[in-house]
Amino acid sequence: MLSGRFAFPADGKLVRDLIPDVIRASGVEPLIREAHRDELPGLLRAKLEEELAEALCSGHPEDPEEFADLLEVLYALAALQGLTPFDLESIRERKAAERGGFEKCLVWLGNRAGDAA
């Protein structure tokens, strides 16, 4: 599950709350520190990039576990702005009503020459 042989930044990387317990259960004592509030946005953005890369590089990018990991990080980023998952869903619904979603799978190729944008 978690290997002791992976690279991460010198100041560490953000992990889920129970990961230290998982590491301890494997017989290793993790080195853990609590993130400062002012560094959380950067740590969460890095975690989002990590989770997105995992989702895109996995053999099964449609894996629901990967979607859940992405949501968890997005919810944490939103919480820093005082937003709840409900708030995000309300915003998503409003934007979908105003601009549509991605159900039709439309790809924009640009505009015809001479047409206004």
Q: What is the Cα–Cα distance from 17 to 53, expressed in whole angstroms?
A: 21
* Tens of pLDDT, residues 24-45: 999 999 999 999 999 999 999 9
Supply the pLDDT for residue 4.
46
SS3 26: coil
Q: What is the Cα–Cα distance from 27 to 12, expressed in whole angstroms?
A: 20
Confidence of residue 2 (pLDDT cuts 50, 70, 90): very low
Structure tokens at 49: 């990039």
Q: What is the Cα–Cα distance from 117 to 10, expressed in whole angstroms?
A: 47
Q: What is the Cα–Cα distance from 111 to 117, expressed in whole angstroms?
A: 7
